[in-house]
Amino acid sequence: MSQAEIDAAATALTGAASTLTTVAADLQAAVANITAEIAALKAANPALNTTALDAAVAGIAAPLAALQAADTAVDALETPPAPAPPAPPAGS
C-alpha cells in the first residue's frame, strides 16, 4: 500500500468519523425534541394515550446507542494511543 493510498484511507476515515458524530448528535437532539413534544402533549391533554409514541421514541434508543458505539470505535481508529515511552538504557 502506497503512502498516497494510506493518506486517502486516513482522510476517508476522518470523514466517516465526522459524519457519524454529526448523525449521532442530530438523532440524539431529535429524540430529545420529540420527547419534549410528547411531554407537552401529555401536559395539554392528560387523557391522551401516548403509549405508542413513547414506545416509538424508545425504539430509537438501541440503534442510536449502536451508532454512538460505532462512532467511538471509528474515533479510536482515527486517533491511535500514544506510543509507550522508550525503555531506559541498560545499566541506568
> Above 80 in pLDDT, residue 92?
no
Q: Cα separation of 68 and 79, whole Å? A: 16
Kindly report, residue by residue over 41-58, the tens digit of the pLDDT: 999 999 999 999 999 999
Angle at 20 between CA 18 and CA 22, to 5 degrees: 70
In a domain, 71, yes or no: yes
Query: pTM above 0.75?
Result: no
| Per-residue pLDDT at 36 exceeds 90 | yes
What residue numbers bound the domain in which 33 lies?
Answer: 28-77
Do the domain assignments include residue 45?
Answer: yes
The verdict on residue 51 lying in a domain is yes
State the total domains in the chain.
Answer: 1
pLDDT at 74: 82
Quick check: 20 and 77 in contact, CB under 8 A?
Answer: no
Considering only 8-17, 22-31, 63-72, 78-87, which range has the smallest mean pLDDT? Answer: 78-87
Residue 19 within a domain: no
Is residue 4 a part of any domain in this protein? no
* Higher per-residue pLDDT: 22 or 10: 22
Mean pLDDT of the residues in the chain = 87
Establish if 7 belongs to a structural domain.
no
